Structure 1
């Protein structure tokens, strides 16, 4: 059974994504657009958060009104490009806990190599939202999700900007219980493991290191 996959086709997201894809877009505008899209993705991925009712007083009357229930969620960034999405999501859920997974892709094997892992101690009792702009080969995402599960995470969602069919299929095979959300499903991977048409290397474009 494959995991749930959702493409968020909101016109504002697609509009901003078009300009992110353009090779003419400057580093500062790329960074701004990524943050803005991430804010909108945060709304979608948190749509089913549980709520409870509390009583408050408005300036006019007492009212029973909903608030988010349970522990604050945890946003996990796959370094380094994931931090661009993390910033936007924190604009929407500023009280979220934060975890980081440091992975780099071996240029020869395309396999992920872990160099950093830091999570809240009670990761098992929180909804974990993993963010990384590009789901390319899927190897880094699979490794990150496996590591989180080993650390006790049981409720996980994965959010990206672009996904390739190959990477999505690999992730769904490895982690069929993890819902995946993306702003677009692109055509394919090229021989170097980059998404086509894609937008290039998201980390390089975000940090100006291309």
Structure 2
């Protein structure tokens, strides 16, 4: 597994505003959208392309285009939906699937309750969107779900990560060069409730309110 922490002043600036408890939901959604686009730029450095001949107004040349099958973007419901627009802005031709996992607050284990994905993901590059890599249970379950269906390259994009969650992914995907985590920061630790410290609170609640 590879871990990529994006060290960029604009990333740090937007993350600081996201962390602020005084940031309201509309502003939080806009900032999350902008931050995801910055993270996605780095996360897609290895997106697969192929040569593509074109003719410019001046002369013929050869550029590149995304290969087929197209990459698939997989937001984890519900909080991952707040990252979707920022991702598809950068990859507008990508397909979008959905995966719903819920964490048991007493055991902190993730279980799948919904999916809208192809049964066969052979040869697909997948980009998983989940704002918080906390305990790691949700991401491990999500990545395994994709790999079991044939995906051969999975990149998880997270706004924040906890060292405990990073370690869980390292153990689960030890030596798996085809699994990557891209995040804006790795914070200090998890508290007794499984929240990242200092973190930014519950990303889903801050995006959409408490429902």
Deviations 1:136-190 (A, max 9, x none): 0001111111222222222211111100000110011112321111110000000
Structure 1 residue matching 2:7: 3-state secondary structure: coil
Report if the CA contact (8 A) 1:103-1:114 is conserved.
yes
| RMSD between superposed Cα atoms in Å | 1.3
1:29-48 alignment, distance < 5 Å: 29-48=27-46
Counterpart residue number, 1:187: 188
Question: Distance between the aligned counterparts of 1:95 and 1:14, measured in 2?
Answer: 29
Structure 1 residue matching 2:167: 3-state secondary structure: helix
Report if the CA contact (8 A) 2:120-2:149 is conserved.
no
Bigger shift: 77-86 or 115-124? 115-124
Once the 2 structures are TM-superposed, how far is the Cα of residue 91 of structure 1 from its aligned partner?
0.8
Question: Distance between the aligned counterparts of 1:50 and 1:78, measured in 2?
Answer: 23
TM-aligned CA distance change 1:121 to 1:143, over 3 Å? closer
4+ runs of 1 displaced by more than 6 Å? none
Structure 2 residue matching 1:33: 3-state secondary structure: helix
Once the 2 structures are TM-superposed, how far is the Cα of residue 50 of structure 1 from its aligned partner?
2.9
Counterpart residue number, 1:12: 10
Report if the CA contact (8 A) 2:124-2:150 is conserved.
no
Once the 2 structures are TM-superposed, how far is the Cα of residue 121 of structure 1 from its aligned partner?
4.1
Structure 2 residue matching 1:179: 3-state secondary structure: strand
Deviations 1:52-89 (A, max 9, x none): 22221222222222222332101111111111112210
Structure 1 position 89 matched with structure 2 position 87:
yes
Query: Number of residue pairs matched?
Result: 208
1:159-198 alignment, distance < 5 Å: 159-176=157-174, 177=176, 178-198=179-199
Report if the CA contact (8 A) 2:161-2:183 is conserved.
yes
Structure 2 residue matching 1:185: 3-state secondary structure: coil
Counterpart residue number, 2:206: 205
Once the 2 structures are TM-superposed, how far is the Cα of residue 27 of structure 1 from its aligned partner?
0.3
Bigger shift: 15-24 or 107-116? 107-116
Question: Distance between the aligned counterparts of 2:145 and 2:120, measured in 1?
Answer: 15
Report if the CA contact (8 A) 2:102-2:111 is conserved.
yes
**TM-score, reference length from structure 1:** 0.94
**TM-score, reference length from structure 2:** 0.94
Once the 2 structures are TM-superposed, how far is the Cα of residue 113 of structure 1 from its aligned partner?
2.1
